[in-house]
A and B are shown apart, each in its own frame.
Chain A
Amino acid sequence: MLNRVSAIALNTFREAIRHRILYLLLIFAVVMISFAQILSLLTVGSEEKIIKDFGLASIDVFGVLTSVFIGIGLVSREIERRTVYTLLAKPIHRFEFILGKFAGLSLTLFVNTAVMTAWFFLVLSIKGMFDARLGVAVLLLLFQFLLITALAVLFSCLSSPILASVLTLALYVIGHLLWSLELLSARLTTESGRILCRVLYFLLPNLGNFDIKGEVVHGLAIGPGRILWATVYLLLYGTGVLCAACAVFERKELQ
């Protein structure tokens, strides 16, 4: 099974590279270096904080865009091009196809993030601002990308690419706004409303778990449990979403 999944994953990775995804990295690199150079002209103090914020935000945005816009086409494009029929005619289970696709995009994201982080660290080192704790923030960003990829794969099995991208981006926005459900819940007067808020709060993907950018940039303490629980959350929620994607794809009628 592992051989089949890894073969699909490698092909997905190669396909992603052919999508000129690396050009995005080049843009990232140019933007980073330009910004770092002109920054000293614009600010009074805070140069280090701004460069770190900007670098982490760039990795975040580029990673999320890669997850969403490649993830949503993973399954639907195969169906559209009818390549999925050739593939599934071979002794491959449908869930292996989904897992392979997910693993391939995860590999792409890993390489993508690694290159961006290496460049980011290089710029910081040149300016004498290197901080190893930023690596922890990037690791959690990678976890976020993996969860978004899993969601994109699920929606890719369920609907058209446009709808899948809308749904994935919507969940990305909601995932970063879940904390506001707590505030809303406190203001609601009806018990049922409060229960609904609590249920949604725990059911929807909480991407805030993977956001420690502020803490890292300000050098604030990060509890040891924070990273551990974020990892556990990713494993559980990600597995759940991938299982759902496999179940949907198993039932999908391919004609």
Chain B
Amino acid sequence: MFPPFPPARRRTLMALCAVICVLVAAVVQGRVERMTRGGTIHPLLYLPSGKYLKVMALGFDGLAADMIYLWSIQYYGNYDIKDRYEYLERIYDQVITELDPHYLDPYLVGALIMTVEARNPEMALRLLDKGVRANPDQWIMPFEAGFLCYNDLHDYKRAAVYFEKAAGIPGVHPLVRRLYAEMYNRAGDKRTSLKEWLEIYRTTDDPYVRNVAWNHAHDLKVDVDLADLRGAVSRFHEMEKRAPHRLLEVVVSGFLATLPRDPEDHDYLYDPQTGEVRYRGGLVLGR
């Protein structure tokens, strides 16, 4: 049927045929991909839960978690996929961290994507809570959860609870203790914040931290003292129908246990005409 080819030419022809076939197959593959793109079935719909994948992984659960994590980084970095956040919690909470509960990065990166990209900080907190439970010796987990409450939710009391948990874990970064102290201030509990900042001031060996703690404690002490003095003067005024002549009068009358002195060990300034109590210096942090 075909004219007889010399063996050398036949080999060349076959090699050429092979190259052409592979190239055409690649073109067809591109066409198939264009056809299947944007299909009705979500690509993540059939990804089994981590519990089942753990069985299928046959002891390679760590590697399976790595592979799905790597894939997730590429998937969530692709802004062309419009509905990519639909299975976000499933991927990080029920698959990757289920396969390898001690793998810290998926908790942190997953929480970041949930907060910054998907705008769902509560979902991120659920993931980080799971990380806290699975890794009680890792301060970074409650720290991240606390930072999320502080920075994104502005829920300072909740943040303080997380920072307190992180601060109790050995090896914690010293910053966590400072954030913990500051959260009470943000939440309006200046007395607890002052107590914590003074504790940091007393216990730290780092001159920089000592200076930072002093600045915070200084301003908080002024705030707390002024609030106490103004409250006592106000109560005195209500009872006696006049302003006290001197601040000491509020102590004598039992409205205040002792007269506080400012951080520089001076008396607070008092104007008997107006009943106004002031601090003679300026606030260090100016808040």
Contacts and interface: CB of A to CB of B under 8 A. Distances in A.
Interface in B78-108: 100, 102-103, 105, 108
Contacts of B105: 44-46, 49
Contacts, number: 53
A18 interface: no
Interface in A23-76: 42-46, 49-50, 53-54, 57, 60
Interface centre among B62, B74, B100, B109 (most CB of A within 10 A): B62
Interface in A138-189: 172-173, 176-177, 180
Given A60-B60, A207-B59, A208-B59, A49 B109 contact: no
Contacts of A43: 69-70, 73
B223 interface: no
Contacts of B249: none
Contacts of A220: 102
B130 to A, nearest CB: 16
Contacts of A45: 105, 108-109
Interface in B48-78: 55, 58-63, 66, 69-70, 73-74
A101 interface: no
A52 to B, nearest CB: 9
A180 B103 CA distance: 22
Contacts of A217: 62
Given A53-B66, A54-B66, A177-B55, A44 B60 contact: no
Nearest to A144: B59
Contacts of A44: 73, 105, 109
A49 B103 contact: yes
A213 B62 contact: yes
Contacts of B108: 45
A40 to B, nearest CB: 11
Given A42-B73, A44-B109, A45-B109, A214 B62 contact: yes
Contacts of B74: 42
Q: What range describes how many residues of A lie at the interface?
A: 20 to 34
Contacts of A208: 59
A20 interface: no
A207 B60 CA distance: 12
B172 to A, nearest CB: 17
Given A177-B55, A218-B102, A49 B66 contact: yes
A211 interface: yes
Nearest to A47: B105
Nearest to B58: A176
B8 to A, nearest CB: 30
Nearest to B108: A45
A214 B102 CA distance: 8
A176 B102 CA distance: 20
Nearest to B62: A53
B70 to A, nearest CB: 5
A53 B63 contact: yes
Interface in A202-227: 207-208, 211, 213-214, 217-218, 220
Contacts of A60: 59-60
Contacts of A53: 62-63, 66
Nearest to B77: A44
B234 to A, nearest CB: 55
B55 A180 contact: yes
8 contacts: A42-B74, A44-B105, A177-B55, A177-B58, A213-B59, A213-B62, A218-B103, A220-B102
Given A50-B66, A50-B70, 15 more contacts: A42-B73, A43-B70, A44-B105, A46-B105, A49-B62, A53-B63, A57-B60, A60-B59, A177-B55, A213-B62, A214-B100, A217-B62, A218-B102, A218-B103, A220-B102
